[in-house]
Structure 1
Amino acid sequence: MDKWLDISQPLNEKTACWPGDTPFSYKLNWTKQDGGSVNVGQINLSTHLGTHIDAPFHFDDKGKKVIELNLDIYIGPARVICLPNPQCFSIHLLQNFDLDGVERLLIRTGSWQDRSIFPESIPPVEPELSGFLAEKGVKLLGLDLPSVDELDSKELPAHHQLYAHGIHILEGIILNQIEAGEYFLSALPLPLMDGDGSPVRAALKRIGI
């Protein structure tokens, strides 16, 4: 039986954080060393740190929050494709792949190698790609990058257009060792009642071989 392949960023003080956002921290509030019966830790982090999903409320005040999202979006068959170091994600690039019936599309770019350093720039998703992907049946787009838009974007056109076409967002996955092909994805968010996003433990299992 194929093993689950972890595609999540490890969370520690070295995990790159969006500039100005809340970095990761962990401390033990209770310890066995100090005479307690257990070790009990406390974590503090942004909801968009490491491997995470964006809820529509992240960029739309009327958008759904994490607890309102359908879990079926984040678990099920997925396809991994490779687009090494693209300038952007465009219809021109994606039309070269057979994506008919693909509900969960994960794209490996290799554009963000050192996860301890937040990148200065990333290839953005062109907004018009959203309609193209929706016509193919895509409901979840996952990237090995911290965003689907340019990092200095204030309008976030890709976020809005993906949402308008029913496509949800998974960011910060690690695909360096993942071959292109068919997989089963599990990337479930935490049940955050008011969440605009959530860290996930994303994993893949190879299928179809």
Structure 2
Amino acid sequence: MKWIDISRTLRGGMPVWPGDTPFSFNLEWTKEQSGSVNVGKVVFSTHAGTHVDAPYHFSEAGKKVHELEPDIFVGKARVLHLPGYESIGAEELAAHDLTGVERLLIRTDSWEDPDRFPDSFCCLRPDAAPLLAEKGVKLLGIDVPSVDPIDSKELPAHHALCLSGIHILESVDLSRADAGDYELIALPLKLEGADGSPVRAILKKTA
């Protein structure tokens, strides 16, 4: 079984959170100029594309990206396909046996046009966090830009997940991932002091 790339491509013109830094890539040295190599320069937000939110993103006392344990982002994962909801909370998740699931990815299909930042999307209700923690979840991924609504300033789902010891992976492209069990690799860059990091996230179906 081949690995499935569930990362959004980092490219010029890609949708970013309103007001956030646009992504750009340019060659600073060309092979012709340097005589030997091409060398590029990238400018992007720490929340560009598929990315990890470190707790420091929403809490001054929270851990920063370089302080996160790598094994959180590597290992067995489950994809749940839950389309058609405005929000997902304990009620919707309780219908599924998640006992022993350490990494949960929720496919909502609510980001319909990946070339345009959505006006709204399915989000997570805070009451999901204690239930997921009880089941053993330590990483929650979702296929939209945030676990909270676009207009939220309090970020209740972010805080509830953090208080429950659950890390956050956002903007995952699960369009080619059916519900089921997988191996996941979604390592953030080791950016000292950072509040988040893009990841190259991949899945491989398990038997």
TM-score range, shorter chain: over 0.9
Partner in structure 2 of residue 180 of structure 1: 179
What RMSD, in angstroms, separates the aligned Cα atoms of the two structures?
0.9
| Match of residue 10 from structure 1 | 9
Paired with 1:85 and 1:196, the residues of 2 have a C-alpha distance of 31
Measure how far apart 1:113 and its partner are: 2.5
Q: How does 1:51-62 map to 2 (within 5 A)?
A: 51-62=50-61
TM-score, length basis structure 1:
0.97
The equivalent residue for 2:78 is 79
Q: Output the amino acid matched with 2:65.
A: V
Relative to structure 1, the CA distance from residue 70 to residue 35 in structure 2 (aligned partners, 3 Å threshold; closer, same or farther) is closer
| C-alpha distance in 2 between matches for 1:48 and 1:64 | 16
- Residues 26-55 of structure 1 deviation map (CA, whole Å, 9 limit, x = unaligned): 100100234531100000000001000000
Aligned to 1:189: 188
- Pairwise CA distance, 1:122: 1.4
Tell me the percent identity.
Answer: 57
The Cα shift of 1:176 comes to 0.7
| Aligned equivalent of 1:46 | 45
Deviations 1:53-94 (A, max 9, x none): 000000000100000001111000000010013110111111
Alpha-carbon distance in 1 for matches of 2:160, 2:83: 24
Q: Normalization by structure 2: what TM-score? A: 0.98
Q: Judge conservation of contact 1:81–1:181 (CA < 8 Å) in 2.
A: yes
Are the equivalent residues in 2 in contact too, given 1:30–1:36 (CA < 8 A)? no
Structure 1 CA distance for aligned equivalents of residues 94 and 61 of structure 2: 32
Counterparts of 2:51 and 2:34, CA distance in 1:
36
1:143-182 counterparts in 2 under 5 A? 143-182=142-181
Cα deviation code 1:85-104 (max 9, x no counterpart): 31101111111111001000
Between the aligned partners of 1:36 and 1:113, the Cα distance in structure 2 is 45
Alignment correspondent of 2:29 = 30
Contact 2:108 2:122 in 1 (8 A): no
Alignment-mate amino acid for residue 201 of structure 1: R
- For these two proteins, the number of residue pairs brought into alignment is 207
Quick one: distance in 2 between partners of 1:75 and 1:114? 28
1:142 corresponds in structure 2 to 141
- Higher mean C-alpha deviation, range 39-48 or range 115-124: 115-124
Q: Does 1:132 align with 2:131?
A: yes
Measured against aligned partners, the alpha-carbon deviations of 1:2-35 in whole angstroms (never above 9, x if no partner) come to: 1111000011013110010001001001002345
CA distance in 2, matches of 1:163, 1:172: 18
Partner of 1:94: 93
Residues 79 and 180, structure 2, Cα contact 8 Å, conserved in 1: yes
Which consecutive aligned stretches of 4+ in structure 1 deviate over 3 angstroms post-superposition?
none
